[in-house]
Structure 1
């Protein structure tokens, strides 16, 4: 009987640190709002250099999972965050610019998200949100409105509707998709 061997994937140290932090998040040991131990304590516990730890923390900060405050005091250190909205939009914009997704795919996804947002918002939107949406539509219909101002209002309108749907993920995805196509508009 012949055994088929598979190559072992080599990991860089910061990837191992990322995996360790991810595992703690998945296991519920780290939650949004939790602070990580200071670098000088965490690096030896993980058995890695501080530079490898910093690289992993920078990756987590870039993808919007972590916020790091340098210095000393109660706000210093790395903290797990709740809202990945900006980071998700930034990643989607980069992938769109690199050709990972076609314009057609992005527009179809946008339409699907916005249709479901409108349906859910029709059932769940508070009256203040509907009033705000009405004001945004009035602004878009104003005579002589420029393209840039219209696009700003249009984006705010669709993000408001998505937020009013009551589904936080739909809201985040809508914001990310809208922001990713904004430069083309």
Structure 2
């Protein structure tokens, strides 16, 4: 509720994670409160109806959860199934049951800006290698997807990795990507 959001801000929160399945009809009030208080929110959805409702509220960050919080069941392809309904101009994340770097890459290739990993990191035998492998992957930035550029059309060997050290940008305005774990 808006009081909890205000208390969170007072305690130092910078953004809020709003779960559609938990908030139900209160989602709109919470999104409005977050906006009125000058901060950001990520809205978690699982179904197309939840996604459409969240988008109708004007949110700029969506996280598609493969776990159905109502039934407690995992639908491993749910994020991929909803990908085509996600507008390219918002930040999109996927979560729930993502255990391998290959799944991360598949979600990135489908157009997701990033993934949220939980159990995969907690159970990982070599977390540094796992994260390192994800961060090393080259890919087409999501903002270019749909512009006629496909990952398989790019000669990745000729690309120079862009870092703050070799560019004029500090990347502070960049959106999250799968490499930013």
Q: TM-score, normalised by structure 1?
A: 0.23
Higher normalized helix content (fraction of residues): 1
Query: Hey, which of these two has a bigger chunk of strand by percent?
Result: 2
- Compute the TM-score of the two structures, normalised by the length of structure 2: 0.23
